Structure 1
Amino acid sequence: MATSTPLERQNLRFVEASEPITEPITKFGGQPVWLADPTWPLSADTGRPMRFIGQIRLPGEEVRLGYLFMTEDGSDEFVDGTYDPTAGENAFFAQPGEPAEFYQVASIRRGPTFGPDHHAELAPHDPDAVDDEDDDLRSRLWGEPVWLQGEEWPDEPGTWRFVAQLDSADEPFDMNLGDAGVAYAFIDEKTGQGRFLWQCS
């Protein structure tokens, strides 16, 4: 496993949009803005479409988006494994790029989502201005992950970049990340395959 040079941490704040966001920019909620043919991931357990979390504009001159999805428990069922990066109950992948092999995809343009569109407001992280003891766990893009439990960098071959850390304390909608959970997203810069996982206290 190789890792790419980290970018500077950007603190992430979510602001609900007044209308659907249809540009290829970083956003959370709503519907994906596909850059190529739709490839909506399906739950390995139920076969139904996962729920869309958001999309993240990846670094580089080429317009490239990373798409985040996760299976949500039904009202009468529990789906295990959403915390596991390779269990087929969550997905992160880029366009241009390719989904991973441990879940199936469908040519669905619009599907279930965790909530309405939210803008991603980013601000450079200033460690000298921190007055929050939980700052290490707060939502951010880039930088380095701060693990709630043990380190879980992807161990498969590839050049992996840390992309996002999402803290359940400030997420814009109700995702099941366990008890006070924190989620982490990584992308292989060559293939566009990603890994998504969460840890809880």
Structure 2
Amino acid sequence: MIDAGPVAAAALVTRTGGVPLAPAGVSWPRCASCQGPMQFLAQVALDDLGDGVGGRGVLALFACENDPGMCDDWDPDSGGNQALLFPAEGLGPLPQPEGGVDEALLVLGAVRAVRLVRVDEPDYDQGGQEWAAKNDDPASSVLGQLGGSPAWLQGDETPSCPSCACPMPLIVQLEEGPDHHTAMNFGGGGCAYAFACEPCGHAKFLWQC
């Protein structure tokens, strides 16, 4: 996933930042610990996984930034983050919660499109470094990877589906972003990992640093 520059805030594409798209009637997710609304981080158009199956909808990722470090937003089961699967049809901008919440706590400071490139190197870190060197781009232009195997910074934390108990496939691994003023917060130099069991409709999100 390569940084492709600005894109419309409500574009139905894989992107970081902007406005989450969701079906009508969905409420903005709130943190289970502090009860505050979470920050929207990224959206993945699942068709971009490229397995020939179309109409798979989107995965939306949220994490609590109301009191960083206090709501266990790195844990997949603490309630400090949410990964939500939505169908492809009937999506629209998710209304922000009422009550005068600071927009900086709800959305990132920049919206970045994603350009997908295929790299033959199986090692995620090595592949990103080689791509950046070959294309004379900074390594920070690599925003992550779609699918494949997670490149864990710590131990393997692949979650199991709460319905079928099968290990969830990786949907996306995310870097914090190239600009620290508008970056996602994964503990300072960390990576986030989102998994989903699409048949069961469950998704999980966590980060490590």
**TM-score bucket (shorter structure):** 0.7 to 0.9
Q: Of 122, 147, 152, which residue of structure 2 is paired with 1:147?
A: 152
1:180 matched to 2:173: no
Distance across 1 between alignment mates of 2:85 and 2:207: 19
1:193 matched to 2:184: no
1:161 matched to 2:149: no
> Does the CA contact (< 8 Å) of 1:32 and 1:110 recur in 2?
no
1:40 matched to 2:28: yes
Aligned to 1:54: 42
Distance across 1 between alignment mates of 2:87 and 2:11: 16
- CA change 1:37–1:189 in 2 (3 A) is same
DSSP-derived class of the 1:124 partner: coil
Instruction: Point out 4+ residue stretches in structure 1 off by more than 6 angstroms.
Output: none
Distance across 1 between alignment mates of 2:178 and 2:119: 16
DSSP-derived class of the 1:40 partner: coil
Aligned to 1:88: 79
- CA change 1:142–1:131 in 2 (3 A) is closer
Answer with 41-50 or 168-177: which moved more.
168-177
Displacement after TM superposition at 1:93 (Å): 1.4
- CA change 1:32–1:81 in 2 (3 A) is same
Displacement after TM superposition at 1:63 (Å): 4.3
Aligned to 2:13: 25
Given the two structures, how large is their TM-score scaled by the length of structure 2?
0.72
Distance across 1 between alignment mates of 2:175 and 2:121: 18
Displacement after TM superposition at 1:73 (Å): 3.7
Displacement after TM superposition at 1:131 (Å): 7.6
> Cα RMSD over matched residues?
3.1
> Does the CA contact (< 8 Å) of 2:10 and 2:18 recur in 1?
no
Aligned to 1:72: 65
> Does the CA contact (< 8 Å) of 1:186 and 1:194 recur in 2?
yes
How many residue pairs end up in the alignment? Answer: 176
> Does the CA contact (< 8 Å) of 1:31 and 1:110 recur in 2?
no
Q: Mark the runs of 5 or more structure 2 residues left unpaired by the alignment.
A: 48-52, 89-93, 98-105, 133-138
> Does the CA contact (< 8 Å) of 2:63 and 2:80 recur in 1?
yes
- CA change 1:25–1:187 in 2 (3 A) is same
- CA change 1:189–1:53 in 2 (3 A) is same
Question: More relative contact order in 1 or in 2 (CA 8 Å, sep 6+)?
Answer: 1
Given the two structures, how large is their TM-score scaled by the length of structure 1?
0.74
Matched AA of 1:153: T
Distance across 2 between alignment mates of 1:158 and 1:109: 34
Answer with 171-180 or 114-123: which moved more.
171-180
Displacement after TM superposition at 1:155 (Å): 2.8
- CA change 1:132–1:22 in 2 (3 A) is closer
Q: Which protein is richer in helix relative to its size?
A: 2
